[in-house]
Structure 1
C-alpha cells in the first residue's frame, strides 16, 4: 500500500487560495493572491515536503491541475521543479475534464474515493498531492491521507478557500517534524493520530453560576 501525502501552503487562519500570484485563483473576489511571495527564502526545502513531486506520482484536483498545466511545461528546461513536475506521472480528479494536455496525465475514473483507494493499492511510488484543497477535504473525510505537510505563513488573510472547512471529519493529528524558515514560516509534518479525545480541566462540581450559565446556553439566551 503506497502512501498518500498532501502538501500545502496556508495562512495563519487556514487559507490556501492562490499563494503564488494574483491571477492564480481570484474566484470569489479573492484579491490577495501571491501572499506567500514575501516569505520565500532559501531555507525552505520544497523537495523534502514533496512540493516538486520528485520520485512520486502526483494526485491533483482539477483546478490545481489546470494551474500547473498552464505554467510548468512553459518554464525553463533546466528548472529543477519544472523538470520533476513535468516528468511525474499525474492522476487528475475531475468531473468536467475529458482531455488532458500535460504529458503523463491520466483522468481518474468514477467515484474519486474509490479511485484513490484502488490507486493506493497498486505498486508504485508514493502519491503526492499539492494544493488541491477540495480534493484534500474529500480524501480527509475518507481517511485516505497518510501525511500532511502544512507550511503556515505568518499572515492573516481573513477570506478565501480554507484548508479545512466545516465539513472536515474531526480527527487528531500527530506532529512528527517541524522547523521554522528564516522568514518565519512554520513547516510542519503531521500524520493521522486517531480520533479526537475530548476532556475537561474542570474537576470540581459546577457552581450555581455555572449551572445558570449552562441553562442559558441550553435556552439560547447566553
Structure 2
C-alpha cells in the first residue's frame, strides 16, 4: 500500500496560513532537504484546490525561467498531480487531474494503486479529513520559532481527540523543529494520581 505524507510549515502558535509572509527567513539547506525528502521524492502529489492554484501559478514559470529552483520545479511538473475539488477544472500545468467521487473512497483506492508514495503540501482541509479517516500515514511539521498571532491554524477545533506518535525529530540551525508524526493506535489515558509519582522527591 502506498504511503501518504503531508508537509506543513507551522508557527509555534499553530498558524499555517500565508507561510510566505513569515517562513522564508528560516529556509536553509536543512529545510530544503527535508522538503525534498517529503515532497520531491513522491510519485504522486495530492493537493487541495487552493494549494494547487498557488503551485500552478508559480512553479511552471520558475521551471521556464531556468533559475536555481528550475530542477525542483521540473520535478514537480513531471509528477502526477491529483487535485481535490468539486469543480470541473481546466488545467494548464501538465500531469494534473481532478480526484473523482467521495474523498475517502477515492484516496483509499489511490493508496492501493501501484507506484511511489503520495506527497501533500499545505491543503489543510484535506489533511484534516484524511487524518480523521486514518488514511494519512505521516504528518511532517516544520515548526518555526515565531508567534504569528493571527491566521488559520492547523487544528481549529475537533469533536474528538486524535492521538499521535512521534516518529522522528530534528532541530535545524535556524531553530526550526522538523517533527514527523503518525496517528497512534489509541488515545492514552491517565489521571493526576498516575502522574504524581513522577514528580521529583522534595527531600532529595
Provide the TM-score with structure 1 as the length reference.
Answer: 0.80
Partner of 1:9: 9
Give how far 1:113 is off.
Answer: 1.2
User: 1:145 & 1:108 partners in 2: Cα distance?
Assistant: 17
Q: Deviations over 1:124-174 (max 9, x none)?
A: 111101110111111111111001111000111222111122136522212
Helix, strand or coil: the match of 2:86? Answer: coil
Partner of 2:122: 131
Change (3 A) 1:153 1:143: same
- CA-atom RMSD in angstroms: 1.7
User: 1:65 & 1:168 partners in 2: Cα distance?
Assistant: 28
User: 2:121 & 2:73 partners in 1: Cα distance?
Assistant: 14
1:78-117 correspondence to structure 2 within 5 Å: 79-117=70-108
Higher normalized helix content (fraction of residues): 2
Query: Do 1:54 and 1:88's aligned partners in 2 also have CA atoms closer than 8 Å?
Result: no
Rg larger for: 1
Partner of 2:162: 171
Partner of 2:26: 39
Partner of 2:38: 50
Which segment drifts farther, 105-114 or 162-171?
Answer: 162-171
Give how far 1:198 is off.
Answer: 1.9
Partner of 1:155: 146
1:66-81 correspondence to structure 2 within 5 Å: 66-75=53-62, 76-77=65-66, 79-81=70-72
User: 1:199 & 1:158 partners in 2: Cα distance?
Assistant: 32
User: 1:168 & 1:132 partners in 2: Cα distance?
Assistant: 20
User: 2:48 & 2:42 partners in 1: Cα distance?
Assistant: 20
Q: Deviations over 1:88-121 (max 9, x none)?
A: 1001100124322210011001111111111111
User: 2:152 & 2:159 partners in 1: Cα distance?
Assistant: 13
User: 1:114 & 1:89 partners in 2: Cα distance?
Assistant: 19
Kindly tell me the number of residue pairs found equivalent between the two proteins. Answer: 189
Change (3 A) 1:60 1:50: same
Query: Do 1:5 and 1:145's aligned partners in 2 also have CA atoms closer than 8 Å?
Result: yes
Helix, strand or coil: the match of 1:5? Answer: strand
Unaligned runs of 5+ in 1: 21-33, 204-222
Query: Do 1:3 and 1:120's aligned partners in 2 also have CA atoms closer than 8 Å?
Result: yes
Helix, strand or coil: the match of 1:137? Answer: helix
User: 2:81 & 2:159 partners in 1: Cα distance?
Assistant: 25
Unaligned runs of 5+ in 2: 195-204
